[in-house]
């Protein structure tokens, strides 16, 4: 191992109060990555290395060019399964202050991004991250990206398995793996611990959901498990009925249901079931077989049709399954065959948290019926942000991060809270954080500490929790300021007394690429250029009715197009109508269907699709957070996330 010694006073202060040792061992593979980056950066500076080659190299190392061009880079830090230690949180705060602009951003894929990092500073950033066990390697580029996992894994009363160690094992298996370095396109893997699918497995290249097969179901179905890995009979529209078999013929077997070829973007595809049930021993070989098939048959000539989802269109789901099973069957011959239970799982276990017999489990998933029943700031926070019901009696509590932004002061404050309370922290796919392994007695003090950090609003499952991609602030592809719209929507909901309602998730993307996941949630927007009175103007397409959960996904349907400045009013009207009309326990997409669907609800908003003349309302021709006239400036796509 190589020792990295930090002599800088700033770093010592950055990690004060945490367990980071002054001398930290750096993994040899990470050191090699950093030294290679330094060498290739020098070659690029000297003109020896072609700019396009350096761009691909840079992306594979998690460094993404911003729309501002020049030396401005976005650094994407991988957080596998969202797990962060106190010293890692402290280091993120140090990096925000030292190399960025005093804040970082949580993404919808459990990464943390820093913007406006100067290219020559990147090696120093990589070394500092490596000193606390963090990496940017393969966070961008045509690689296996950050492996996500449900943020409450191991602390959820509903889970079938704790998928934490499985997600970590998958991350480690594909990091630096030769088969995953130059894929036809990016490749995304998500884990969920149960069918509630808080990990959002159903719109990824591979989505893994913990499942059980039982002897009774096996007997009822008369299904004989295949010895050669042949595909189940299924048209792919719904998950096949779980065949039931067990290792001893009597007890239920816990394992996984694997879904493949899902994706969002301009052409969303639902993930389709690969087989009825995948055993624990077969999970990693199955995942590697999927990656190998994608590497071999993915489209390398057309990036727009290169994702795993397009193989369903070109091959058909049955043929895609056949090729994956064929690859898996002979993977035993590989020198690094990944079969069996991974070491991480053997060491850390995967037993579910279990359900308490004394506390009603907190409902989870999209459409969670959160109700603020009590007055008082602490009581409202406790009603909305605390998860209870696990057998071991601990509780979890959300810290709400507006737009997923965390200041350096908040990073350090969160690190201190995690250390002082002995609580694990995970980032969520809705751009918040959750503290786990707490006691009920710690909650009032935690609330007080989060209040000091301005992170104690009840928001994790309420309407105020608007999710947005970075948008035209920094992204080359965005055509609108999605973050500005998210702020405006939040402000209007607060003004109308609707920010505290549960059961509505709003997601925004600055273009059609769905980095903000606008297709998958109740209310979605994606940015689009509009023209009115012979002038360009910022606009959005509104979608309604997206839903992911219970091993299903519904993509939102188009409701109407409208000016950017009218989008907040559209959300307010839809939210108010939902509150006034919904039946007890009714989910948003169920209410929408009962109300005639997205188009019908959109008709009631048609008056909002109107651009006043520029001299009457000039603000309609200026985007949020901008001062000058709206202008589309789309750069070259480096690597749409």
How confident is the model over 467-476, as pLDDT tens digits? 999 988 888 8
Of the listed ranges 222-236, 269-283, 339-353, 461-475, the least confidently predicted one is 222-236
User: What are the residues whose beta carbons fall under 8 Å from the beta carbon of 189, sequence distance 6 or more?
Assistant: 144, 145, 147, 148, 170, 174, 204, 205, 206, 207, 208, 287
With a cut of 50, say whether residue 5 has pLDDT above it: no
With a cut of 70, say whether residue 315 has pLDDT above it: yes
pLDDT class for 347, splitting at 50, 70, 90? very high
pLDDT class for 11, splitting at 50, 70, 90? low
pLDDT class for 232, splitting at 50, 70, 90? very low
Two domains, one topology: 160-348 and 467-621: yes
User: What are the residues whose beta carbons fall under 8 Å from the beta carbon of 390, sequence distance 6 or more?
Assistant: 155, 156, 157, 353, 354, 355, 356, 361
Q: How crowded is residue 334: how many other Cβ atoms within 10 Å of its Cβ?
A: 14
With a cut of 70, say whether residue 235 has pLDDT above it: no
For residue 544, report the phi and psi dihedrals to the nearest 5 degrees: -135, 145
With a cut of 70, say whether residue 570 has pLDDT above it: yes
pLDDT at 209: 98
pLDDT at 244: 38
pLDDT at 236: 38
With a cut of 70, say whether residue 239 has pLDDT above it: no
For the segment(s) 160-348, the CATH number from 3.40.50.12780, 1.20.120.140, 3.30.413.10, 3.40.50.720 is: 3.30.413.10
Q: How large a percentage of the chain has pLDDT more than 70?
A: 89
pLDDT at 591: 97
pLDDT at 161: 98
The stretch 100-125 carries a mean pLDDT of 97
3-state secondary structure at position 119: helix
E strand or H helix at 599: helix 598-603
Per residue in 504-545, pLDDT tens?
999 999 999 999 999 999 999 999 999 999 999 999 999 999
The stretch 376-405 carries a mean pLDDT of 95
Per residue in 578-635, pLDDT tens?
999 999 889 999 999 999 999 999 999 999 999 999 999 999 999 998 888 888 876 6
Q: pTM value?
A: 0.91
pLDDT class for 575, splitting at 50, 70, 90? very high
With a cut of 90, say whether residue 237 has pLDDT above it: no
The owner of tokens 């719904």 is 238
The stretch 20-33 carries a mean pLDDT of 73
The CATH code that applies to domain 2-130 is 3.30.70
The stretch 448-452 carries a mean pLDDT of 98
Per residue in 74-91, pLDDT tens?
999 999 999 999 999 999
pLDDT at 67: 83
The CATH code that applies to domain 467-621 is 3.30.413.10
pLDDT at 13: 57
Average pLDDT over the chain, rounded to whole?
A: 90
CA angle 630/628/116 to nearest 5° reads 90
Per residue in 49-80, pLDDT tens?
999 999 999 999 999 999 887 889 999 999 99
With a cut of 60, say whether residue 240 has pLDDT above it: no
Closest CA to 481 of 494, 468, 499: 468
The stretch 407-411 carries a mean pLDDT of 98
With a cut of 90, say whether residue 459 has pLDDT above it: no
Of the listed ranges 25-34, 94-103, 426-435, the least confidently predicted one is 25-34
What are the structural domain ranges in the chain?
Answer: 2-130, 160-348, 377-452, 467-621
Per residue in 165-188, pLDDT tens?
999 999 999 999 999 999 999 999
Q: How crowded is residue 303: how many other Cβ atoms within 10 Å of its Cβ?
A: 14
pLDDT at 508: 97
Q: How large a percentage of the chain has pLDDT more than 90?
A: 81
Q: Is domain 377-452 classified as CATH 3.90.480.10?
A: yes
pLDDT at 528: 94
């Amino acid at each position: 191992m190589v020792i990295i010694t930090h002599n800088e006073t700033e770093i010592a202060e950055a990690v004060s109060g945490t367990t980071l040792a002054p001398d930290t061992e750096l993994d040899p593979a990470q050191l090699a990555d950093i030294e290679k980056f330094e060498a290739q950066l020098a070659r690029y500076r000297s003109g020896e290395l072609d700019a396009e080659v350096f761009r691909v190299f840079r992306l594979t190392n998690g460094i993404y060019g911003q729309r501002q061009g020049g030396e401005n880079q976005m650094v994407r830090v991988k957080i596998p399964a969202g797990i962060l230690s106190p010293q890692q949180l402290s280091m993120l705060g140090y990096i925000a202050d030292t190399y960025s602009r005093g804040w970082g951003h949580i993404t919808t894929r459990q990464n943390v991004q820093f913007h406006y990092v100067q290219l020559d500073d990147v090696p120093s950033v990589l070394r500092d991250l490596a000193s606390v066990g963090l990496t940017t390697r393969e966070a961008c580029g045509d690689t296996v990206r950050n492996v996500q996992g449900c943020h409450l894994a191991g602390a959820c009363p509903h889970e079938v398995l704790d998928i934490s160690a499985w997600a970590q094992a998958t991350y480690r298996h594909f990091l630096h793996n030769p088969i995953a370095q130059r894929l036809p396109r990016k490749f995304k893997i998500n884990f969920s611990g149960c069918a509630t699918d808080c990990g959002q497995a159903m719109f990824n290249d591979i989505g893994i959901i913990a499942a059980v097969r039982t002897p009774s179901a096996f007997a009822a179905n008369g299904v004989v498990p295949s010895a050669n890995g042949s595909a189940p009979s299924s048209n792919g529209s719904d998950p096949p009925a779980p065949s039931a078999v067990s290792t001893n013929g009597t007890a239920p077997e816990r394992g996984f249901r694997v879904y493949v070829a899902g994706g969002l973007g301009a052409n969303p595809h639902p993930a389709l079931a690969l087989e009825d049930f995948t055993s624990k021993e077969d999970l990693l070989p199955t995942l590697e077989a999927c990656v190998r098939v994608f590497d071999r048959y993915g489209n390398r000539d057309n990036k727009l049709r290169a994702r795993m989802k397009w193989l369903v269109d070109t091959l058909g789901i049955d043929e895609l399954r056949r090729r994956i099973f064929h690859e898996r069957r002979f993977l035993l011959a590989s020198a690094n065959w990944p079969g069996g239970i991974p070491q991480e799982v053997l060491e850390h276990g995967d037993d579910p948290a279990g359900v308490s017999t004394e506390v009603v489990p907190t409902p989870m998933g999209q459409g969670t019926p959160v109700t603020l029943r009590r007055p008082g700031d602490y009581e409202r926070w406790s009603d909305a942000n605390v998860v209870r019901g696990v057998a071991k009696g601990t509780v979890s509590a959300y810290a709400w991060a507006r737009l997923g932004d965390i200041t350096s002061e908040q990073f350090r404050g969160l690190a201190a809270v995690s250390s002082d309370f002995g609580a694990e922290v995970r980032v969520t796919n809705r751009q918040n954080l959750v503290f786990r392994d707490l006691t009920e007695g710690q909650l009032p003090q935690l609330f007080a500490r989060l209040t000091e950090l301005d992170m104690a609003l009840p928001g994790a499952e309420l309407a105020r929790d608007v999710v947005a991609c970075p948008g035209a602030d920094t992204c080359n592809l965005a055509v609108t300021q999605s973050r500005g719209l998210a702020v405006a929507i939040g402000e209007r909901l607060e003004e109308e007394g609707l920010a505290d309602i549960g059961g509505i998730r709003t997601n925004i993307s600055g273009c059609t690429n769905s980095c903000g996941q606008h297709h998958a949630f109740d209310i979605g927007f994606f940015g689009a250029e509009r023209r009115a009175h012979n002038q360009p103007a910022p606009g959005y397409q509104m979608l309604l009715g997206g839903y992911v959960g219970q091993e299903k996904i519904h993509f939102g349907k188009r409701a109407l197009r409208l000016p950017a400045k009218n989008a907040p009013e559209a959300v307010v009207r839809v939210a108010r109508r939902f509150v006034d009309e919904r039946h007890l326990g009714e989910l948003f997409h169920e209410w929408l269907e009962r109300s005639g669907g997205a188009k019908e609800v959109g008709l009631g908003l048609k008056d909002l699709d109107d651009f006043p003349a520029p001299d009457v309302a000039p603000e309609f021709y200026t985007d949020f957070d901008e001062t000058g006239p709206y202008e589309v400036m789309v750069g070259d796509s480096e690597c749409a996330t």
